[in-house]
Structure 1
Amino acid sequence: MKLLEHHRRVLSALNENSQPYGEYCAHFKTISHEAGMPDIREVRRITRHLARRGLAEYHRALFTDDGDLAGAGYCITPAGRNLISQGA
């Protein structure tokens, strides 16, 4: 599977800032900053597209290490990690 450049940048940001299975997730602002893409609307659209393809997944009711509610976010899936390691 080949990714467009912007999609690869978002998936790479998820790879660097999240862990599979909801162990550690990132919100759109973090993904946007790490991908170097200031348009959060575009990052949101791409992240949701990656989730529909099984490369990212959404998790809600996330908590900080201190037990405080942290909202919702996205994390990379094993399939996403595999694709990015292949140099998508």
Structure 2
Amino acid sequence: MVPDVFDKLFVGLLFLAIGVVYTVYPPWFDRFVRWVKSVDIDKEPDEFELSDGAVALIRYGGFILACIGGVVTLVQVGRLLS
């Protein structure tokens, strides 16, 4: 039972970390996409830019991931402490 709790705790913390990164720092995602697009010979990396709606979607998705990760983490910590 304890390894199962630790596995779920790890997943919760991972979701929390990914969610916080996407919520707080979406320009990181923009730079990653530019780097991927720079591999394309026909398109310059500066031609690609995320729209405001895409940035908002990334932020909301990150917020939802952070909430899920936070809830899973709290539940698993509660199970460990009880």
TM-score normalised per structure 1? 0.29
Task: Report which of the two has the higher share of strand.
Answer: 1
Task: Report which of the two has the higher share of helix.
Answer: 2
Return the index of the structure with the highest Cα Rg.
2
Higher RCO structure (Cα 8 Å, ≥6 apart): 2
